[in-house]
Amino acid sequence: MADSWSSSGLDVHLGWEPSTGRSGLADAIRTAIREGRWQPDATVPSTRALASDLGVARGTVTRVYADLAAEGYLRTAQGAPTRVATAGSLPQSAPRQAPRDPAPRWDLRPGRPDLTAFPRQAWITATRRALLRTPASAFGYESELGAPELRDTLAGYLARARGVVADPARIVVCHGYSHAIAVLSRALFSLGVGEMAFENPSLGMYRSIAAAQGPRVVGVPVDEHGLDVSALDSPAAVVTAAHQYPTGVTLAPHRRAALTRSGATVVEDDYDGEFRFDRQQVGALQALAPEKVVYAGTASKTLAPALRLAWLVLPRSLVEPVRAAMADSGSRPALLNQLALAELIDSGAYDQHVRRSRAEYRSRRARLLAALPETVRPQGIAAGLHLLLMLPPEGPSEATALAACRRRAIGIEGLGGYWMDEGRPGGLIVGYAATPKHAFAGATQTLVEALWEITA
């Protein structure tokens, strides 16, 4: 049987057959290096640890290491641990790993908050309180709906902050919004919903996730008033009503009313509803028709995507189908993160963090708009974490604009990838939140230089 082993500090699968002896062990290590399981410049297990784990003499491993070092797979040095050779010195038979895209120097990618502003101390305090207050029984197998503490807290918070009609029994806590749209699409498909409409343009990743659960995905146009409800002919529709992504428009009042009367099950993705800058926040669409609209929220934009926390407020008729889909998915958000978020909201620290972030992002958006050349046209309401810049009809092209940004190490996205059909106008989607505060002025200036280069 092939031998898997775990040495002190390192877990590696070699797939070594003991019957193949020393030469087989050498082949197994070569294969691990070629396939990237033992990565270039990584420390390998000591001869003593590997020999102990494999049940062979230490001298056997020592000779194998010496042979592989002579071949160029390993490098040794007196008094230092043995390492895999660097990528540039590996034998040509060992395929090189594809280089990773470096992180941009100037991060203007949309959909990302300023991670350096994450409220670490408040989160530590909330986590400590959660651990002290939570009984041991809570750390068993949890409900598919999520931690009761967080669902209770979310019911109050969403009613207060977003006008959502909710009670804890109708709230499901998901492992991020991707998980939420997956389980919801699966539940709808199980109820006979064979088609789901998405805004055009919209984020293709979520369209793909929904389609993978069974429903056919179609597009519905978006204009300056949001989703064109008159063009909707599907039994379910996913909308970003408060702040359409990526165009930045908001769903007009007359269309909000028409959408809730359309007969479709509406999924309201309220991804950045806390960040409205120019006036009182627009309340959730869900409040107009709680039994027809699924409200979806997330902590990814207010706190951090890595927390993997999102929630659905469901019509009563969907609670059981979604609970069953959650059970089938086998995925749950970490309980401790759920409990910490509940503590953070209950203590008021969450609201304080949102208010600070809102003020900072409002300032950044204003500074960015003031610096832009007149040849680009900003689009969308004063809200959220991103701004859409439409390029002049006569050019430059979106590809030219993106190339100019890449030359300056600017991380940014183009509008073209969000359309569901060809021949649509191009633009740049600028995320002004992701850059750390101290670097925002430099990022803005670098973007303006790129825009002047291509539009002057």
pLDDT in tens, 399-413: 999 999 999 999 999
Averaged pLDDT score across all residues of the chain:
90
Q: Where are the domains positioned within the chain?
A: 3-89, 106-112+355-455, 119-350
- Does this model's pTM top 0.85? My answer is no
Taking phi over 0 as left and psi of -120 to 50 as alpha, with beta for the rest, 34 belongs to alpha
Name the pLDDT band for 93 (thresholds 50, 70, 90).
low
**Between residues 12 and 109, the one the model is more confident about:** 109
Please, are residues 248 and 202 in contact by the beta-carbon 8 Å criterion? no
Architecture of domain 106-112+355-455: Alpha-Beta Complex (3.90)
Sign of the dihedral defined by the CA atoms of residues 208, 210, 211, 213, in that order: positive
The pLDDT of residue 7 is above 70: no
Report the distance separating Cα 358 and Cα 44, nearest Å.
48
| pLDDT of residue 20 exceeding 60 | yes
CATH class of 3-89: mainly alpha
pLDDT at 250 over 60: yes
Round to the nearest angstrom and report the end-to-end CA distance of the chain. 68
pLDDT value at 6 more than 50: no
**What does the pLDDT look like over 376-390, one tens digit per residue?**
999 999 999 999 999
Give percent of the chain above pLDDT 70. Answer: 94
> Which two tokens mark 219?
């597009």
Phi, psi of 425 (to 5 degrees): -65, 155
CATH code that applies to domain 119-350? 3.40.640.10
Q: Do residues 200 and 421 touch, judged by C-beta distance below 8 A?
A: yes
Q: Of 49-58, 187-196, 426-435, where does mean pLDDT reach its minimum?
A: 49-58
Reported confidence tier of residue 258, pLDDT bands at 50, 70, 90: very high
**How far apart are alpha carbons 290 and 125 in whole angstroms?**
35
